[in-house]
Amino acid sequence: MTSIQAQPFPYTFDPRRTALVIIDMQRDFIEPGGFGESLGNNVALLSAIVPACRAVLDAWREVGALVVHTREAHQPDLSDCPPAKRNRGNPSLRIGDEGPMGRVLVMGEPGNQIIPELAPVAGEIVIDKPGKGAFYATPLQGFLQEREITHLVFMGVTTEVCVQTSMREANDRGYDSLLLADCTESYFPQFKASAIEMIHAQGAIVGWTADSASLLAALAAPG
């Protein structure tokens, strides 16, 4: 077992039964010229976490533990996108519309792909999710059960939406989850800060939070 310093108290896990879950590090959210920027967001906030995410991903691959990538993605006919989701807010582009990198949040489009720096490799799980949570209407739970996974380490975007939703889903399903605070971000920094407080409040009511340096040190330790 491995233990790292975390909030609100140390997080203990066995890498052989833990999956690294990377939420929605997609071109349309992260890269200049994508959907996120077209809505007026500062994507530099999100792209700033890429080096830290890559360091964790490299270390996780080195120990041979399970990696899961998610993409928020819909069928081309939008049959899995309810009107309540597509019509929310007043954006200039909606899900399925033609955006700077192809149709927004549609499977197979260029903007829907994971950024090259964090691209999946053979043997890693890729989940296309039609909702904000990684478990809703996806096979993720079955994949984790097949591999006897009990713990999850999360990173990705955005903290208060898809990351927090996925962690709450995981908590309801019995997983002990850790969020790496420097490997997640929001277009609204105050939302990230609030989400992190919510996650580890009341004795890790949703999960634990820690900086990636603690995890990297633990993974590099002998034995």
Asked if 162 is an active-site residue, the reply is yes
Q: Are 185 and 157 in contact (CB under 8 A)?
A: yes
Active-site residue identified among 24, 81, 128, 132: 24
Q: Which tokens in the block code for residue 89?
A: 């807010």
Active-site residue identified among 53, 81, 129, 183: 129
Q: Are 152 and 175 in contact (CB under 8 A)?
A: yes
Q: Is the peptide bond before 32 cis (omega within 30 degrees of 0)?
A: no
Asked if 24 is an active-site residue, the reply is yes
- What does residue 5 show for φ and ψ, rounded to 5 degrees? -70, 130
Report how far residue 86's alpha carbon sits from residue 123's, in angstroms, rounded to the nearest whole number. 33
3-state class of 123 per DSSP?
A: coil
Report how far residue 153's alpha carbon sits from residue 120's, in angstroms, rounded to the nearest whole number. 16
Cα 92 to chain centroid distance, Å, stands at 25
Report how far residue 22's alpha carbon sits from residue 182's, in angstroms, rounded to the nearest whole number. 13
Q: What is the chain's Cα-based Rg? A: 17
Active-site residue identified among 132, 162, 183, 192: 162
Q: Which residues are catalytic?
A: 24, 129, 162
